[in-house]
Structure 1
């Protein structure tokens, strides 16, 4: 996972800076770090990692008012996603790893 590899994180932040410089007013140019992310120690079903993060935030009294998952992994369908499907419905924009995030998907996420 990208978040577990410092070089991958640096590449993403570089891309954010480049995009921000080319698109005046884009908030991506101001992102200098990922302050909070799912665990980099335990990888498993992506949906379970995200649900664990959400549950941890709620337990800390910091439940997000709104949230969306942008991911190329399946978060709604399949046996391993069935238990938490209702929690994720309406919060998922599935991307393709060979394409990345499209403008249409970004607009849908917002």
Structure 2
């Protein structure tokens, strides 16, 4: 029997919380506006955050992210960031998330409500054909030079509440 539905955010870091590209600079500080957008989603929907970023594999990067979340305050300060996609899986982002969803479902979790926040395409393209139906309408493609914006947060909230 599946547990009561919970919502999930699959969170990338580079390009989502940490914009990059021409004119962005090379700081490792997450812009306040990106953190504000993430905090808005968490306040509105109380989702479980599943880290799908390559940052999940780097203890130094994880410590830096936790410190920035603590410095931001609630609701980000209380995120443990202990849940992540498979550390050994580095194929297509869509496949990594699909594997996590399938494993969670096999453990009895109800994972019907989720959103992917990523600057990598998780729906279109040949590589994403495999699980396209599972991800259709659940992915926010964040512009990597801008990072997570208020309009992205509103779309994520709408997806999680649907």
Q: With structure 2 as the length reference, what TM-score do the two structures score?
A: 0.60
The structure with more strand, counted as a fraction of residues: 2
State which of 84, 94, 117 in structure 2 corresponds to 1:70. 117
Say which structure is richer in helix.
Answer: 1
- The structure 1 segments of at least 4 consecutive aligned residues displaced by more than 3 Å after TM superposition are none
The alpha-carbon deviation at position 63 of structure 1 amounts to 2.7
* 1:88 alignment partner, one of 135, 152, 156: 135
User: 1:96: how far off?
Assistant: 2.9
- Using the size of structure 1 for normalisation, the TM-score is 0.85
CA–CA separation in structure 1 for the residues paired with 2:84 and 2:110: 14
Q: How many residues align?
A: 104
Runs of 5+ in structure 1 lacking a partner?
21-25
Query: Shift of residue 65 of structure 1?
Result: 4.4
Structure 2 alignment gaps of length 5 or more:
1-53, 158-162
State the superposition RMSD in angstroms. 1.4
Matched with 1:51 is: 98
Matched, 1:19 2:67: no
**Whole-Å separation in 2 of the counterparts to 1:102 and 1:8:** 22
More relative contact order, 1 or 2 (CA 8 Å, 6+ apart): 2
